[in-house]
Amino acid sequence: MSSASYKIESSHPIVGPLWADQDSSKFLILFDRALAVVLAAKSRTFPSGHEIRVVHIPSGEVIYRKTGESTASFCDTL
C-alpha cells in the first residue's frame, strides 16, 4: 500500500453530495489518488465557480484542477 497522501483543497468552501460534512470544508486529505480525483470532480465550491485542486502532498504537484463548473485538467505523471 502506498503511503502517498493527496489533499483536495480550495480557497473557498467545498460542497457536494459525496462530502460528509458540508460545513465550510476547505480541504480533505486522502490516501487514494483515484478517490481524491473522483471526489474533487464531483464537488463544487460555495459560491460556485472557484477552483478545486488535488495536490500530491509529498511533491506538492497539482495532479487535478477543476475551475468553474465545466473545466478540468488531469496530470497523469505520478
Is the sign of the CA dihedral 32, 61, 17, 27 positive or negative?
positive
pLDDT in tens, 36-75: 999 999 988 888 889 999 999 999 999 999 987 655 566 6
Alpha-carbon distance 37 to 54, whole Å? 7
Count of CB atoms within 10 A of residue 56's CB?
A: 19
Question: Which residues, at least 6 apart from 26, have a Cβ–Cβ distance to it below 8 Å?
Answer: 9, 10, 11, 12, 13, 14
- With 90 as the cut, is the pLDDT of residue 1 above it? no
All structural domains of the chain with their residue ranges: 6-74
Q: Is the model's pLDDT at 26 over the cut of 50?
A: yes
